[in-house]
């Protein structure tokens, strides 16, 4: 009888260990999945933020915005071609 109880105890321990391993593994996986989801959300957020900033920079750099402001605030104008001089630099001056 005693030998039989040992076997039962052994099987019970093996079962508990296996169950615990499965539980631990699942818990770690769910935690990792949650972290992954958080990181993805952060990346999406940063991507969105970058796109928004790029859009604002492009809008600010556009001629539709820059030219009127340059004219109104600084008294500048778009140069006519006679005011544009391309000066060929001698070789090696780069």
Partner 1 sequence: MARPAVRIQVVEFGVLVGLALLVGRAAQVQILHGRRWAEEAQAQRTERIVLQARRGTLYDRHGTPLAVTQETYHVGIAPNELRDPAADGALISRRLGLTARTWQEALRRRYAYFAGPYSALEVQPLRSVRGVHLESVLNRFYPDPAVARATIGRLGDDGLAASGLERTLDSLLAGRAGAAVVLKDRAGREYESPARVIAPPVPGLDVVLTLDAELQEIAQRALDDALRRMDADAGDVVMLDPGTGEVLALASRQRDGSARPSAFTDTFEPGSLAKIFAAAALLSLRRVSPTDHVSGEGGKWRVLGRTITDDDPQPSLTMADAIRVSSNIAIAKFAARLTPAEQYATLRDFGFGAFTGIEFPAEATGRLRPPSEWTRPSAASLAMGYELSVTPIQVAMAYGALANDGLLLQPTLVREVRSASGGGVRYRHRPEPVRRVVSRDVAAALRNLLRGVVERGTGTEAALTNFPVAAKTGTARRVVNGRYAAGEYTASFAALFPADQPQLVLVVKLDNPHKGSYFAAQTAAPVTRSMLEQALAARTVALDRARLSTAAPRATAAPADDDGGLVPYVVPWPYQPDSAGVGPRRAVPDVAGLGMREAVRTLHRRGFRVALRGWGVAEHTWPAAGDSAAAGSMVTLFADPHAGDRVRSRGAAPPRRGPRR
For residue 74, the minimal CB distance to partner 1 (Å) is 6
Pick the piece of the chain touching partner 1 (CB under 8 A) from 2-10, 11-19, 51-59: 51-59
Taking CA 15 as the corner, what is the angle to CA 14 and CA 19, rounded to the nearest 5 degrees? 115
Decide if 71 contacts 77 (C-beta within 8 A). yes
82 DSSP 8-state letter: G
Q: What region, left, alpha or beta, does residue 92 occupy, with left being phi > 0 and alpha being psi -120 to 50 degrees?
A: left
Pick the piece of the chain touching partner 1 (CB under 8 A) from 7-15, 16-24, 74-82: 74-82
Choose, by CB under 8 A, the member of 12, 24, 51, 60 that binds partner 1: 51
When asked if residue 6 is in the footprint of partner 1 (CB under 8 A), the reply is no
Report the SS3 class of residue 74.
helix
For residue 9, the minimal CB distance to partner 1 (Å) is 32
**Who contacts 76 (Cβ-Cβ below 8 Å, separation ≥6)?**
70
Please report, as ranges, the residues that interact with partner 1 according to CB under 8 A: 26, 29-30, 32-34, 36-37, 41, 44-45, 47-49, 51-52, 54-55, 58-59, 62-64, 70, 74-94
């Amino acid at each position: 009888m005693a030998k039989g109880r040992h076997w039962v105890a052994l099987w019970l321990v093996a079962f508990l260990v296996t169950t615990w391993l499965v539980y631990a593994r699942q818990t770690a996986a769910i935690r990792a999945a949650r972290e992954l989801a958080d990181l993805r959300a952060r990346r999406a957020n940063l991507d969105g933020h970058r796109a928004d900033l790029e859009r604002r920079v492009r809008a600010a750099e556009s001629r539709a915005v820059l030219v009127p402001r340059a004219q109104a605030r600084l008294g500048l104008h778009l140069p006519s071609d006679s005011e544009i001089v391309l000066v060929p630099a001698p070789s090696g001056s780069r």
